[in-house]
Amino acid sequence: MHHVIIGNGITGITAARTLRKLSDDTITVISGETDYFFSRTALMYIYMGHMRFEDTQPYPPEFWKKNRINLLKKWVKQVHVDSKLIEFDNGDTLEYDTLLIATGAQSNKFGWPGQDLKGVQGLYSYQDLLELEANTRNGINRGVIVGGGLIGIEMAEMLHARKYPVTLLVRETNYWNNVLPEQESDMISHHIRHHGFDLRLNETLTEILGDAQGRVRGVITGSGEEIACQVVGLTAGVAPNIAFLKGGSINVDRGVVINQHMRTNIESVFAAGDCAQFQHALPDRRPIEQVWYTGKLQGECAAKNMLGMPTLYNPGYWFNSAKFLDIEYQTYGTVLNKLRDGESEFYWEHPDREKAVHIVYRTEDRLFIGINVFGLRMRHDIFNTWLQQGKSVDYVLTHLRAAHFDPEFYRHFEDAVIQSWNAQHPNHMITLADAKSAKKMIFKNA
Amino acid sequence: MSELNTSISLTQTYPAKFNALQKTGLTLTGIGILTIFLAWAGAGTTQPLLCLLITIIGLFSGGILYTYGTYGHLPKGIKNNRNFISSISSGGTLAWISAVAITGFYVVLYWRDHWKTVFGTDIFSGLVHMFDPLSQLLRKSDADQWFVYGSFYTIAVLIMGTKFIYKYRHNNYQILRTCSVMFFQLGFAWLIPGIMKALYNFEPFYSYFWPLDYDAIFPGTLSYMLDRPGNLGVFFIFWGIVMSFIATPLLTYFFGKRWYCSWVCGCGGLAETAGDPFRHLSDKSISAWKIERWMIHSVLALIILTTILILVSDVIGEHLKLSINQYVYYAVLIGLAYLVYRGIAKSGSQMRLRPTMIVLGCITGFLILYALIPNLKTGDQVVSFSTAGLAKWYSFSIGMVFSGVIGVGFYPIMGSRVWCRFGCPMAAYMGVIQRFKSRFRITTNGAQCISCGNCSTYCEMGIDVRAYAQRGQNIVRASCVGCGVCSAVCPRGVLKLETGPDNAARTEVLFTSEDLKILV
CB A288 within 8 A of CB A254: yes
**Spatial separation of the C-alpha atoms in residues B117 and A400, rounded to whole Å:** 71
Q: Which residues on B lie below 8 Å from A194 (Cβ)?
A: 75
Strands (E), A216-264: 216-221, 226-228, 231-234, 238-240, 256-258
Residue A315 belongs to a domain: no
Q: What are phi and psi of B73, to 5 degrees?
A: -85, -5
The answer for residues whose C-beta is within 8 angstroms of residue A169's C-beta and 6 or more apart is A144, A145, A146, A147, A200, A203, A204, A205, A219, A221
Residue A373: its H or E element: strand A368-374
Residue A445: its H or E element: none
Looking at residue B359, what is its pLDDT?
65
The verdict on a CB contact (< 8 Å) between B447 and A410 is: no
Give the distance from residue B515's alpha carbon to the nearest chain A alpha carbon, in angstroms: 9
The verdict on a CB contact (< 8 Å) between B470 and A314 is: no
**Integer CA distances (angstroms), A361 to A330, B4, B201, in order:** 17, 48, 71
Q: Which residues on B lie below 8 Å from A315 (Cβ)?
A: 516-517
Task: Please write the tens of the pLDDT for every residue from A171-215.
Answer: 999 999 999 999 999 999 999 999 999 999 999 999 999 999 999
CATH classification of the domain holding A183 = 3.50.50.60
The identity of residue A318, as a single letter, is W
Task: Provide the pLDDT confidence category of residue B109 given band limits of 50, 70 and 90.
Answer: confident
The verdict on a CB contact (< 8 Å) between B456 and A55 is: yes
Q: Which of A36, A37, A44, A45 to mutate to probe the B interface, most B CBs <10 Å? A: A45
Work out the average pLDDT over A387-395. 97
Work out the average pLDDT over B110-122. 87
Looking at residue B492, what is its pLDDT?
97
Among B14, B348, B448, whose Cβ lies nearest the Cβ of A162? B14
Q: Which residues on A lie below 8 Å from B492 (Cβ)?
A: 321-323, 328, 330
Task: Provide the pLDDT confidence category of residue A395 given band limits of 50, 70 and 90.
Answer: very high
A129 and A186, same domain (yes or no): yes
The verdict on a CB contact (< 8 Å) between A50 and B447 is: no
Whole-number percent of chain B with pLDDT over 90:
64
A232 and A264, same domain (yes or no): no
Residue A113 belongs to a domain: no
Give the distance from residue B364's alpha carbon to the nearest chain A alpha carbon, in angstroms: 27
Q: Would you give the distance in Å from CA A137 to the centre of its chain?
A: 28
Going by C-alpha positions, the residue among A11, A240, A185, A208 that lies closest to residue A111 is: A208
Q: Does B2 touch chain A (CB under 8 A)?
A: no
Residue A8 belongs to a domain: yes
**Spatial separation of the C-alpha atoms in residues B274 and B176, rounded to whole Å:** 17
The answer for residues whose C-beta is within 8 angstroms of residue B283's C-beta and 6 or more apart is B354, B355, B356, B414, B415, B462
The verdict on a CB contact (< 8 Å) between A163 and B17 is: yes
A230 and A284, same domain (yes or no): no
CB pairs under 8 A between A and B: 194
- Please, which residues 346-365 of chain B have a Cβ atom closer than 8 Å to chain A? 348-350
A-chain residue closest to B450, CA distance: A292
Among A39, A134, A317, whose Cβ lies nearest the Cβ of B451? A39
CB B169 within 8 A of CB B74: no
**pLDDT over 70 at A99, yes or no:** yes
Strand pairing class (A2-6; A98-101): parallel
Among A49, A60, A293, whose Cβ lies nearest the Cβ of B83? A49
Looking at residue A255, what is its pLDDT?
98
The verdict on a CB contact (< 8 Å) between A50 and B81 is: yes
Going by C-alpha positions, the residue among A329, A397, A327 that lies closest to residue A360 is: A397
A280 and A393, same domain (yes or no): no
A14 and A98, same domain (yes or no): yes
The verdict on a CB contact (< 8 Å) between B446 and A380 is: yes
Among A236, A264, A282, give the residue marking a domain's end.
A236
The verdict on a CB contact (< 8 Å) between A407 and B80 is: no
**Integer CA distances (angstroms), A337 to A182, A287, A340, A359, B168, in order:** 7, 18, 9, 12, 33
The answer for residues whose C-beta is within 8 angstroms of residue B435's C-beta and 6 or more apart is B476, B477, B478
**Spatial separation of the C-alpha atoms in residues B252 and B386, rounded to whole Å:** 34
- Please, which residues 63-82 of chain B have a Cβ atom closer than 8 Å to chain A? 75-78, 80-82
Q: Does B517 touch chain A (CB under 8 A)?
A: yes
A-chain residue closest to B466, CA distance: A58
Residue A145 belongs to a domain: yes
**pLDDT over 60 at B351, yes or no:** no
Omega prior to A351 cis, within 30 of 0: no
Residue A112 belongs to a domain: no
Residue A115 belongs to a domain: no
**Spatial separation of the C-alpha atoms in residues A87 and A97, rounded to whole Å:** 15
CB A102 within 8 A of CB A290: no
A432 and A338, same domain (yes or no): yes
The verdict on a CB contact (< 8 Å) between A377 and B496 is: yes
Q: What are phi and psi of B87, to 5 degrees?
A: -60, -40
**If you write DSSP's letter for every residue of B43-64 in order, what string do you get?**
IHHHSHHHHHHHHHHHHHHHHH
Among A50, A62, A410, whose Cβ lies nearest the Cβ of B83? A50
Q: Which residues on B lie below 8 Å from A300 (Cβ)?
A: 513
Task: Provide the pLDDT confidence category of residue B5 given band limits of 50, 70 and 90.
Answer: very low
CATH classification of the domain holding A378 = 3.30.390.30
**pLDDT over 60 at B354, yes or no:** no
Looking at residue B349, what is its pLDDT?
47
**pLDDT over 70 at B344, yes or no:** no
A102 and A245, same domain (yes or no): yes
**Integer CA distances (angstroms), A123 to A88, A161, A193, in order:** 25, 16, 22
A368 and A398, same domain (yes or no): yes
**pLDDT over 50 at B8, yes or no:** no
The verdict on a CB contact (< 8 Å) between A330 and B484 is: no
CB B130 within 8 A of CB B48: yes
**Spatial separation of the C-alpha atoms in residues B293 and B288, rounded to whole Å:** 9
Looking at residue B343, what is its pLDDT?
60
Q: Where are the alpha helices (DSSP H) in B442-495?
A: 454-457, 465-469, 485-489
Among A35, A58, A380, whose Cβ lies nearest the Cβ of B445? A380
A188 and A199, same domain (yes or no): yes
Q: Does B437 touch chain A (CB under 8 A)?
A: no
Residue A33 belongs to a domain: yes
Q: Which residues on B lie below 8 Å from A377 (Cβ)?
A: 445, 493, 496
Q: Which residues on B lie below 8 Å from A132 (Cβ)?
A: none
Q: Would you give the distance in Å from CA B244 to the centre of its chain?
A: 19
**If you write DSSP's letter for every residue of A46-95 in order, what string do you get?**
HHTTSS-GGGG-SS-THHHHHTTEEEE---EEEEETTTTEEEETTS-EEE
Residue A398 belongs to a domain: yes
A33 and A139, same domain (yes or no): no
Q: Mutual orientation of helices A292-306 and A10-22 as an angle, nearest 10°?
A: 40
A-chain residue closest to B278, CA distance: A50
Q: What are phi and psi of A53, to 5 degrees?
A: -55, -45
**Integer CA distances (angstroms), A79 to A12, A98, A294, B377, in order:** 17, 12, 25, 76
CA-CA-CA-CA dihedral for A332, A336, A340, A345, to nearest 10: 60
**pLDDT over 50 at B347, yes or no:** no
The verdict on a CB contact (< 8 Å) between B445 and A379 is: yes
Among A236, A255, A271, give the residue marking a domain's end.
A236
Task: Please write the tens of the pLDDT for every residue from B366-424.
Answer: 666 665 555 555 556 677 777 888 888 888 888 888 888 888 889 999 999 999 999 99
A-chain residue closest to B500, CA distance: A443
A83 and A159, same domain (yes or no): no
**Range of A180's domain?**
120-236
Q: Mutual orientation of helices B286-316 and B219-226 as an angle, nearest 10°?
A: 60
Give the distance from residue B464's alpha carbon to the nearest chain A alpha carbon, in angstroms: 9
Q: Which residues on B lie below 8 Å from A283 (Cβ)?
A: none
What is the total count of domains within chain A? Answer: 3
**Integer CA distances (angstroms), B23 to A165, B16, B17, B64, B88, in order:** 22, 11, 10, 12, 17
Query: For B436-516, which CATH class?
Result: alpha beta
Q: Which residues on B lie below 8 Å from A195 (Cβ)?
A: 75
**Spatial separation of the C-alpha atoms in residues B258 and A47, rounded to whole Å:** 33
Among B10, B77, B457, whose Cβ lies nearest the Cβ of A130? B10
A246 and A101, same domain (yes or no): yes
Radius of gyration (C-alpha) of chain A in whole angstroms: 24
Bridge partners (DSSP) listed for residue A333: A370
Work out the average pLDDT over A110-126. 97
Q: Is A177 helix (H, G, I), strand (E, B) or coil?
A: coil
